[in-house]
Amino acid sequence: MDPDSTEFTARLRPRLAASPLWDFALAIYARPGVEQACLTLQDEHGWDVCELLWRCWLYQQGAQAGALPSQVTAWQREVTQPLRRLRRDLKPQAQADSQVASVRSRIKQAELEAEQQCLQMLMKISLNELAFSPIPARLQGLENVLLSSQQRQKKTQLMAIRSVESQLDPLPAAR
């Protein structure tokens, strides 16, 4: 880690602490078009919504991070994704059976709690472990931060990212 990154991270952490990731996620997800954009990125492009919201939270502060921490990837793979699959698999049965609908509703709540736990892990890791770097001027724009030049970019993917970005508050001035 270079000294500039260390200094940037030290200045960034108090700002992140003052803006809890869960609160940010709830607020941005409730804005027009964001939920649908996140679900499009998840369902059609395999994106992790918690990771997307975390990266948007960092982007909001003019920061970017490297790879998603492995413990978060494991949590999503082993806890959140199985709950989501089960909830979705039960949807047809739940429409015909109120008891199955009740079970599905509890699974949906557990899935939401698993996502909340994921975001809390990301917040804790962000405040204590990870180093960040400022977003270079050449990467301004959320799609440039989220997508590498090697990633295949589909129109629906770009439109969804732009929909999320349009609901973010303006980037802070260079720090």
Provide the residue range defining the domain that includes 148: 3-166
**Tokens for 50?**
């918690």
State the amino acid at position 51 in one-letter form: E
pLDDT over threshold 80, residue 5 = no
In a domain, 53, yes or no: yes
In a domain, 46, yes or no: yes
pLDDT score at 174? 45
Collapsing DSSP to helix, strand or coil, 144 comes out as helix
Q: Tell me how far apart the alpha carbons of residues 160 and 14 are, in angstroms, rounded to a whole number.
A: 30
For the stretch 16-37, pLDDT in tens is 999 999 999 999 999 999 999 9
Q: Tell me how far apart the alpha carbons of residues 61 and 135 are, in angstroms, rounded to a whole number.
A: 9
Angle between helices 49-60 and 21-29 (to 10 degrees): 100
For the stretch 39-60, pLDDT in tens is 999 999 889 999 999 999 999 9
In a domain, 174, yes or no: no
Contact 69, 130 (CB under 8 A): yes
In a domain, 65, yes or no: yes
pLDDT over threshold 60, residue 149 = no
Contact 6, 126 (CB under 8 A): no
In a domain, 175, yes or no: no
CA-based nearest residue to 20, from 123, 169, 151: 123
CB atoms < 10 A from the CB of 31, how many?
14
In a domain, 171, yes or no: no
In a domain, 13, yes or no: yes
Between 109 and 175, where is the model more confident? 109
- 59 half-sphere exposure, CB direction, 13 A CA radius: 24
Q: Give me the number of domains the chain comprises.
A: 1
pLDDT score at 136? 79
In a domain, 134, yes or no: yes
